[in-house]
Each structure stands twice: as C-alpha cells, then as structure tokens.
Amino acid sequence: MFSPMLVNGNGEVGIEDETVTRWCLHYMTCPACKKALLNLSKRGADDAVELWTVYPRHSSRPPAPKEVPAEIAEDFNEAALVLTMSPKASAALSRRCLQATLRENGYTQNDLAPAIKAALESNTLPAALAENLDAVRNIGNFAAHPMKDKQTNAVLPVDPHEAEWNLEVLEGLFDHYYVQPAKAAARRDALNKKLEAAGKPPLKTGTGA
C-alpha cells in the first residue's frame, strides 16, 4: 500500500502521512549548468534525517590523477562511485584496477595474488604501502571468489571500510607508479632547459644528477 504523495511549492515530492517514515524527493535546476539536481531524504519517527544525492551521481573521493592511464582511471573512478551503493561491486572493480596497475608496471602474473607477491618481493614499494598492499589481497578476493565463514558456512560480506581501503591502496600505488615519476620527469626537464641555456650538458639519465 502506497502512502499519499504531495508536491509543494519548493519543488519537493514527499509522503503526506506523518505516521510512517517520510521520504521526500527534492529537485531543482543547477543555476550554473542548467541540469537537474535530485536529492532523496528520509525522516524517521525520531525526526532524524538522512539525505542522498540520487542525480547526478558523484563520488566523495577525488578522481584518479591525470597521470594514470585512462582505462585504469575509469575502473578506479567507477569503484569510488559505487562504493556506498555496493561495496561488493566497488571491491570487484578495485581488484581489476589493482591487477591492471600491477600488470602495467611489469607484474604480468595471471592472478592477482601472485602479482601482488611479485610486487612485494621486488622491494621497490615504500614500506607502509607494501604492508597495506599485502593486507588487501584477502579483501580483493572477496569480490571475485566468495569466501565462507568456517563456522557458519555463510558467505562473508565485503564491508564498506574494506572496499574503501582498496581504493586508498590504489591511490598510494597511483602516486608511486605514476604521479611521483611524472613530477620527477618534469623537474628534470625544467633543469635540463636551464642547463642548456647556460651551455652545460643535460643531466645523465638514471642518475638524478
């Protein structure tokens, strides 16, 4: 049975019956882009209000840095976008994004766990990042290979904070593999231009001096 609906002068559609949980759809036109903005609110019996933006969808995390390859950035951004709606879907996308990132940087193993192991054994990652990468192996496997509780035999869920941790580790890998090398290259290029203008030879590749 549906409760009666009302539309008020503020552009809101809601449930009229105050004896039930009240849902309200707020809509307006963005003054900048002229597109629709839709928010959904829920007011419970204790007058506590929850609010969600339902259109356009957006993520609370910043997008992948511009230095990240487009295909990998797309998976990361989508994983961040669906995090609150489906941690399981977010974790699955993060897992694929993680494997693509490692593969692009030389770890071409067919499965994610061996690729992570190879990355860790290379001893090229900062200690904190390596420790977190090692820890997310089990979290990443939840999405593609459901794990069961040994006592209850129930499939273990992917909690939001676990899926979010995947994204945080990916951000660390993006910084290590893409952002910092790009910044270093830009600094070298700028210094080489100064050296060239002064009639001096450029920096030797790979020495940093």
The answer on pLDDT for 157 being more than 50 is yes
Each domain of the chain, given as residue ranges in start order, spans 5-55, 70-182
Calpha distance 129→55 (Å, rounded): 35
Containing 27, the helix (H) or strand (E) segment is strand 22-29
Fold of 70-182: Four Helix Bundle (Hemerythrin (Met), subunit A) (1.20.120)
Task: Determine the pLDDT at residue 195.
Answer: 84
pTM of this prediction? 0.66
Least confident piece of the model among 24-33, 94-103, 138-147: 138-147
- Answer yes or no: is pLDDT of 82 > 80: yes
Q: How far lies 203's CA from each of 27, 179, 180, 185, 190, in Å?
A: 58, 21, 18, 11, 11
C-alpha to C-alpha distance for 54 and 42, rounded to whole angstroms: 13
Greater confidence (204 vs 53) lies with 204
Confidence (pLDDT) at 140: 52
